Amino acid sequence: MANLFHLAFPVEDLREARNFYGEVLGCREGRSSDRWIDFDLYGHQIVTHLSPGYPRPPASNGVDSDDVPIPHFGIVLPMDEWRELADRLEAKGVAFVIEPKIRFAGEVGEQATMFFLDPSGNALEFKGFKDLSTVFAK
């Protein structure tokens, strides 16, 4: 089994988090309490922790002519899975911060990307690569 990534982050409302991560993104729910919920995000453990009023100062960084929200997290997917996810999110009416697009077209590291927010304002980026062996190519 490969090593798994773990990320815990704040959310305003666990019911909204359960709907977004479970129903919209399709993450299987693991253990939970009245203060947190574990989710399986493509085989990695993410944990939403109830933290009403957690301060989130807006920040961004320019990347390939986009204003990328900082901080953010997500998953790197094979291109066909990325396209399926993008289609599912569009069908569910998810509002994108950065619409699904190709970044660094024709360059080393060409990738598909999309950014969106969860109901608590946490930024997520999902990337797609035709060849996952090029994720760290220079």
Encode the chain (138 residues) as per-residue pLDDT tens digits.
678 899 999 999 999 999 999 999 999 999 999 999 999 999 999 999 999 988 877 788 888 788 899 999 999 999 999 999 999 999 999 999 999 999 988 888 899 999 999 999 999 999 999 999 889 988
Domains of the chain and any CATH numbers: 6-50 (3.30.720), 63-134 (3.10.180.10)
| Alpha carbon distance 81, 45 (integer Å) | 19
pLDDT at 100: 97
Question: Count of residues for the chain?
Answer: 138
Fill in the DSSP letter of residue 119. Answer: T
Identify the pLDDT of residue 119.
Answer: 95
Predicted pLDDT of residue 43: 95
Write the CB contacts of 131 (distance below 8 Å, at least 6 apart in sequence): none
pLDDT of 1: 63
Residue 137: the pLDDT is 86
